[in-house]
């Protein structure tokens, strides 16, 4: 009976709290005002975010560590408790810089973070293997223990790098995006600038132990020779285990880049049911407005449809059908222009369980500095008026400094947005918003 009373009291409290909470407001239970900052000694580049099962939040980035006249790029990771405070039991007072440094002052860039069930965290990124400007940037993993130390039971001193490729010698390879499958396997996507004299779109799948998955593609790799103007910058897995690569390409003779997609089967082959029959969908009909549209991020809905966040001199959201064709029922013939005020950019996108779309990036409000820019759209592409009053939210996290977001995750239904800012771009930013998904906040789902 007492347990039943406690359950009813908890549910009433949750419902009361949800009734008071304004959807899209900053969450006051996170760092008292919904915002958290973490400073680094050197500049950082593009933020990543991941939420662990216990509610801990990892903020990741790439730190340019100055060493004389050289810059040694390393992974930079911070761990926050569910209340928004730094977890000082992790690393050095909640922070840790770590890299591969296969060559001296190597440029090792973080692409993703994946918390593990035992409290450890897997860091995925690209590893500089040689000194060439467009040399081999290999897929690599680092596993850290719950305390933030390199896990000696994983790979070589906590690290694993895939150096064997089907294209000898491996010149001009660069990984640009990464995702984890539900079974724990890790898939990287990128480009080869010069594999046997050709430009290739690449994907490589790794097992949980860091080895190449030889059942995928050709000895763990997929490669497709393509035009010189194709680039890859995003990746996602759909509900059927198919892998979607996102990027951009330049139509001829139009000089402006448009979104480009490719879908692979779970075994690493082009999916003939997608796009033009080769597994490729080139969205040439997306309006350019004189912008080169780069696909910054993509997310896949439960029905297989794909949502892309576009940036680079503008901001847009695009939706395709499950077959890769432009969904003309979404917004304005498949495209939602998100350009606002003195300029904006979209860098991250995620889809809720009710099919609403959350996107984040930066906005120039004053004609001077960028602020965080977050939007929520209904499934048909209209702005969701239940979010922040008009579907749009601007947050100035660091006064007098540039500040933008580049990653989104969900914490019990609440959006967690990660970014960076500061006068010297040396501060990681996190914010957590309240959500109207009331049964996702500790009261069942």
Strand order in the sheet with 48-51: 48-51, 57-67, 70-80, 95-98
Q: Which of 185-194, 289-298, 357-366, 412-421 has the lowest mean pLDDT?
A: 289-298
- pTM exceeds 0.85, yes or no: yes
H or E element that contains 221: strand 221-226
Query: 307-345, pLDDT tens digit by residue?
Result: 999 998 789 999 999 999 999 999 999 999 999 999 999
Reported as a pLDDT band with limits 50, 70 and 90, residue 263 is: very high
260 contacts 283 by C-beta, under 8 angstroms: yes
Reading the block at residue 140, the tokens are 């690599």
Query: 287-298, pLDDT tens digit by residue?
Result: 887 678 999 999
How many angstroms separate the CA atoms of 420 and 129, rounded? 27
Reported as a pLDDT band with limits 50, 70 and 90, residue 231 is: very high
Beta-sheet strands, E only, within 17-69: 35-39, 48-51, 57-67
What would the CATH number be for the domain defined by 2-440? 2.130.10.10
How many angstroms separate the CA atoms of 180 and 178, rounded? 7
DSSP states of 79-130 as a string? Answer: EE-TTSSB-TTTTBTTEEEE---SSTT---EEEEEEE-TTS-EEEEEEEE-S
Mean per-residue pLDDT, 195-222: 95
Q: Which residue has the higher pLDDT, 363 or 70?
A: 363
Instruction: Spell out the residues 6+ positions from residue 277 whose beta carbon is closer than 8 angstroms to its own.
Output: none
DSSP state of 228: T
Considering only CA atoms, which of 230, 234, 255 is closest in space to residue 246? 234
How many angstroms separate the CA atoms of 87 and 67, rounded? 28
């Amino acid at each position: 009976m007492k347990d039943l009373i406690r359950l009813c009291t908890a549910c009433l409290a949750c419902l009361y709290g949800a009734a008071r909470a304004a959807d899209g407001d900053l969450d006051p239970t996170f760092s008292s005002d919904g915002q958290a900052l973490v400073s680094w000694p050197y500049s950082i580049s593009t933020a990543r975010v991941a939420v662990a099962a216990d509610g801990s939040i990892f903020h990741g980035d790439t730190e340019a560590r100055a060493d004389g006249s050289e810059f040694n790029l390393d992974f930079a990771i911070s761990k926050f408790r569910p209340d928004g405070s730094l977890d000082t039991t992790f690393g050095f007072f909640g922070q840790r810089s770590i890299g591969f440094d296969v060559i001296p002052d190597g440029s090792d860039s973080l692409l993703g973070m994946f918390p593990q069930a035992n409290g450890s965290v897997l860091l995925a990124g690209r590893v500089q293997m040689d000194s060439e400007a467009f040399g081999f940037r290999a897929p690599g993993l680092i596993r850290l223990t719950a305390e933030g130390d390199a896990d000696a039971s994983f790979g070589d001193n906590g690290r694993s790098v895939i150096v064997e490729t089907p294209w000898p010698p491996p010149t001009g390879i660069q990984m640009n995006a990464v995702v984890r499958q539900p079974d724990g396997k890790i898939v990287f996507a990128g480009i080869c600038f010069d594999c046997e004299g050709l430009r290739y779109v690449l994907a490589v799948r790794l097992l949980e132990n860091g080895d190449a998955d030889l059942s995928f593609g050709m000895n763990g790799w997929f490669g497709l020779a393509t035009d010189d103007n194709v680039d890859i910058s995003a990746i996602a897995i759909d509900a059927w285990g198919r892998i979607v690569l996102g990027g951009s390409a330049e139509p001829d003779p139009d000089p402006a880049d448009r979104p480009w997609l490719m879908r692979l089967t779970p075994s690493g082959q082009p999916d003939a049911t997608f796009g033009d029959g080769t597994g490729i969908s080139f969205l040439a009909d997306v309006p350019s407005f004189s912008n080169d549209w780069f696909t910054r991020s993509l997310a896949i809905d439960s029905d297989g449809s794909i949502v892309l966040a576009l940036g680079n001199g503008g901001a847009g959201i695009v939706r395709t059908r499950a077959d890769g064709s432009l969904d003309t029922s979404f917004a304005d013939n498949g495209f939602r222009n998100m350009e606002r005020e003195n300029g904006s950019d979209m860098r991250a996108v995620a889809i809720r369980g009710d099919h609403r779309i959350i996107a984040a990036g930066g906005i120039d409000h004053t004609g001077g500095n960028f602020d965080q820019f977050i939007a929520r759209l209904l499934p048909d592409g209209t702005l969701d008026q239940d979010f922040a009053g008009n579907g749009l939210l601007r947050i100035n996290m660091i006064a007098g400094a540039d500040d933008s977001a580049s990653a989104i995750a969900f914490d019990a239904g609440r959006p967690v947005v990660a970014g960076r800012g500061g006068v010297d771009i040396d501060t990681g930013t996190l914010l957590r918003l309240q959500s109207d998904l009331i049964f996702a906040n500790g009261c069942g789902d």
